[in-house]
Amino acid sequence: MHSAVVTPGGDRMRWVELPGAEPCRVYVHGLGAASLPYFTEVAVHPQLAGRRSLLVDLLGHGISDRPTDFDYTLEAHADALAAALEAAGVAGAELIAHSMGGSVAIVLAARHPRLVSRLVLVDANLDPLTAAPGTGGSRGIAAYSEEEFLSRGWAEVGERAGPHWWSTMRLAGREALHRSATHLVRGTSPTMRELLLKLAVPRTYLLPEADGPLPGADDLVRAGVQVVAVPDCGHNIMLDNPTGFVRATAAALTPPNGADGRRTGA
């Protein structure tokens, strides 16, 4: 396990590192998750193995510190991740990032372009959302005030999360989880989608085939983003269909000559 101080208060972000060739690959989890349980199986798959790989836990999550004086905006998450990557000697990394982690990765690429050479976004949030009481995910968490979430919302969300998500969500700091969800729902200005459209690095967006067409996909494709539908999976593509995820991710990281961003199956 490795770590780096990423805040003025001395808070540490931690990651597990797999040795291999450069450029580095960085795996970033989603809200209430952690990178080891979500990415280890695919990161060591023969089609993706052999590269230096960092499986990073964002502040407030997994094995990283859980400061209560950190605001957990997407920008703050991105800047903390940048500090960790700088400390690890990483530049021009290929980021494979899921859900909220994909949103953080977009902001990272926009704010710290030297650190990112390629993005693979795994069903990432691109647009602001509306908080919705009683629902799952970030929308349900953000429907509570922070005081409500700390007093009763934590337990209610745990009941709705199910045993798989709860296994990592229970490791997250409560303030971290609520603030991260609130800022994820709020989004950024410009939006994550607008930032993604303007990035110059190669970009791929993976989504579950069962979700149907990705809203705004035509604009993404025109901007050079490859949009790839992966079959037989839900939101957690790397867990539900590891083979399909690996195939799509390997193709995104080593695109064939003449790749033009057209949507394909995986």
Q: What is the pLDDT of residue 260?
A: 44
Q: How far apart are CA 259 and CA 243, in angstroms?
A: 21
Q: Which two tokens stand for residue 46?
A: 């023969």
Strand pairing report for 12-18 and 116-122? unpaired
CB 126 within 8 A of CB 192: yes
Q: Which two tokens stand for residue 152?
A: 């009763």
Determine how many CB atoms are found less than 10 A away from the CB of residue 108: 28
* Banded pLDDT at 264 (limits 50, 70, 90): very low
CB 241 within 8 A of CB 233: yes
User: Exposed, middle or buried: residue 220 (CB in 10 Å: 0-12, 13-18, 19+)?
Assistant: buried
CB 112 within 8 A of CB 78: yes
CB 72 within 8 A of CB 104: no
Residue 17 pairs in a beta bridge with: 54
* Banded pLDDT at 257 (limits 50, 70, 90): low
Q: What is the pLDDT of residue 261?
A: 44
Q: How far apart are CA 163 and CA 169, in angstroms?
A: 10
Tens digit of each residue's pLDDT (9 = 90 or more) over 212-256: 999 999 999 999 999 999 999 999 999 999 999 999 999 999 866
Closest CA to 240 of 249, 248, 232: 232
Tens digit of each residue's pLDDT (9 = 90 or more) over 156-168: 999 898 899 999 9
Dihedral of CA 182/122/38/105: which sign? Answer: negative
Q: How large is the average pLDDT for residues 89-95?
A: 96
Q: How large is the average pLDDT for residues 33-49?
A: 97
| Residue 10 pLDDT greater than 50, yes or no | yes
* Banded pLDDT at 135 (limits 50, 70, 90): confident
Q: How large is the average pLDDT for residues 193-198?
A: 97
| Residue 13 pLDDT greater than 50, yes or no | yes
Q: Is the peptide bond prior to 190 cis by the omega test (within 30 degrees of 0)? A: yes
Tens digit of each residue's pLDDT (9 = 90 or more) over 96-129: 999 999 999 999 999 999 999 999 999 999 999 9
